[in-house]
Amino acid sequence: MTTMIKEIYEALIDAGANDKKATAAAVASADYDSRFNRFATNLEEIRSEQHVIRWIAAFNLAFTLAVVWKIFT
């Protein structure tokens, strides 16, 4: 089922666009919004993964420094 933004459809009809073009534009606008929401969700997932990677890198750096400190002192 395709979703359509009713306000855009009505505005295009009032502006003089034919029904087929107004429907296509309203559906494309609704699809664009859903794609943007998916992008924002994916961006949040990447940010959460970045926190884990930063924690791993910090642990690795601390462990490496501890080993080097133990070897040379």
The answer for residues whose C-beta is within 8 angstroms of residue 6's C-beta and 6 or more apart is 26
- Number of folded domains that form the chain: 1
Query: What's the confidence (pLDDT) of residue 44?
Result: 85
Q: Which of 7-16, 19-28, 61-70 has the highest mean pLDDT?
A: 61-70
The answer to the question of residue 58 being in a domain is yes
The answer to the question of residue 36 being in a domain is yes
Tell me which residue range forms the domain holding 56. 6-72
Rounded to two decimals, the pTM is 0.45
User: Residue written as tokens 């859903």?
Assistant: 34
Q: Predicted confidence band at 2 (pLDDT cuts at 50, 70, 90)?
A: low
The answer to the question of residue 1 being in a domain is no
